[in-house]
Amino acid sequence: MAKNFYITTPIYYASGRLHVGSASTTCFCDSYARYKKQMGYDVRFLTGMDEHGQKVERNAELKGITPKEYVDHLADRAKALWKYLECENDDFIRTTDEHHIRQVQQVFEMMLKKGDIYLGSYDGWYCVSCETFLTNSEVGDEHICPECGKKVTTVKEESYFFKLSKYQDRLLNYINEHPDFIVPESKKNEVVSFIKQGLEDLSVSRTTIKWGIPINSNPRHVVYVWLDALFNYLTSLNFLEEDKSLYDKYWLNAEVLHVVAKDILRFHAIFWPIFLMSLDIPINFKLFSHSWFLMMGEKMSKSRGNVIYPETFINRYGLDSFRYYILREFPYSSDTICTPLDYIQRYNTDLVNDFGNLVSRSLSMAIKYFDGHVKRKETNNEYLKDLEKVASDTVSLYHQDMKEYKIDKALQDINRLVARTNKLIDETAPWALYKEGNMDLLEDVIYHLLDAIRIESILYVPYLIKSTPIIFKALGVSKDEESLLDISLFKKPKYVVTALEANLFPREKDVEAAKEEIIADMAKELTLEV
């Protein structure tokens, strides 16, 4: 297979300003896309906005504007946020885009013609907030949505239904035959357990709302928001348009990864592959479902007043610190608590004390002792040999963790190499070597420090997008020496280095005061118009 890679975020629902939770998913995808580019892949990265449904219709009405005006405003804000985070998405799809609407209408008619969709009536529970139909067992006696915790409403209307039950066994067989289809394993087990309870046919149209994609053969109905939204991954590739080159390249001949949070796992693990089966489209994707960032022990929610917005941290500590923190603490398989204090401590420890200080000290010693000109010497020192081994092991572990989407573990791999590099300074005491006149060993030690920093910076490229170019420039390395695909370890014959152009990571000296200021900033951000 060609080395093509297609990665997608969920398209975020147009219900308000996007917070750290959404930003973490998008930054994960952006960093993973950057990693794949480093590995020589032709990458396409998609994000976007899900803009139809009853909740949008109601929110727009409360603001006294049209649904289109409402979603236009939120789409502009989302695009601005991803630009602010310097995410390199190739497309931003909106479910109000004409080419998306046109293709979803075709999809519905194709499923209807095949007999997978039939007309009936729906009488049951519906969560407006999640745009989800629910069963009696799911809502319980209190009639509460199990996902968002809000009261559900009753819906009784004519509706088209999709025959999910028809594909139940086929989906179970597919999951069994493709054990890495859904990761982590715990999420796969949850999906399998749910399917085995029996799938009910899914209501896929609404007549009591107007803000949706009208069904061509029966315009009184609009397409259910999840049937509409899930197809964004293919409508972005123009899979039903005349020019299918993007579809051929990034779906039929690519490695495809959907990244979603756990609250929309079932839609992507059950509805989406079944919809593809209905259309005889290959299920050529893997699904990575991550957990949540929690604040004060709960999922972030503006109504609870426990939301953190990316701007709060970035304005204070810079973009690299934010991207690093949310990926270093990324909730791979279990929820992660996010607090201002955790953020500051992680920033001061990993970026300021460990990596930033290592870079600054090493460059300073190279300039002080050798006027920036450092060659490799074959001193055969045991500490230098150990550093070389740790570096080699780190690169292998890093690739393995990235292959398994464990981006937090991959960053921990780099942390360990940084720690080992710092330890080399303590072991060899370069200042003492200088006083002793042991210049060959001193030069070899500083060479190893510089090359270890180059290796660490290469691994950090997808995450520290502002800092790594500054480090490479100070190290005087060329573009080919920044390669991860053909990374060399301690083979560069010499370095000609210069001082850093800027302080990479200024220390936060008063942690407690900073924490209180961030909490105050969070409160201010919550008052801003969504």
Within 8 A by CB and 6+ apart from 190, the residues are 265
Task: Please report, rounded to a whole number, the percentage of residues in the chain having pLDDT higher than 90.
Answer: 83
pLDDT at 494 (0 to 100): 96
> What pTM value is reported for the model?
0.93
pLDDT value at 235 more than 70: yes
Confidence band (pLDDT; 50, 70, 90) for 529? low
Per-residue model confidence as pLDDT tens digits over 514-524: 999 998 888 88
Pick the closest to residue 96 from 222, 191, 185 (CA basis): 222
**Which amino acid is it at 386?**
D
pLDDT value at 351 more than 60: yes
**Rounded mean pLDDT, 164-175:** 97
pLDDT at 297 (0 to 100): 65
**Rounded mean pLDDT, 96-115:** 98
Q: What's the sign of the alpha-carbon dihedral 387, 346, 260, 462?
A: negative
Confidence band (pLDDT; 50, 70, 90) for 137? confident
Within 8 A by CB and 6+ apart from 117, the residues are 108, 111, 160, 161, 162, 163, 204
- Which residue ranges form the domains of the chain, and what is each CATH number? 4-290 (3.40.50.620), 338-496 (1.10.730.10)
**Rounded mean pLDDT, 160-180:** 96
Per-residue model confidence as pLDDT tens digits over 461-482: 999 999 999 999 999 999 999 9
The CB-based long-range contact list for 167-175 (8 Å cut-off, 24+ gap) reads 167/199, 167/274, 167/277, 167/278, 168/195, 168/198, 168/199, 170/277, 171/195, 171/270, 171/273, 171/274, 171/277, 172/196, 174/273, 174/283
Least confident of 114-123, 125-134, 377-386: 125-134
Per-residue model confidence as pLDDT tens digits over 293-347: 887 667 776 656 677 899 999 999 999 999 999 999 999 989 999 889 999 999 9
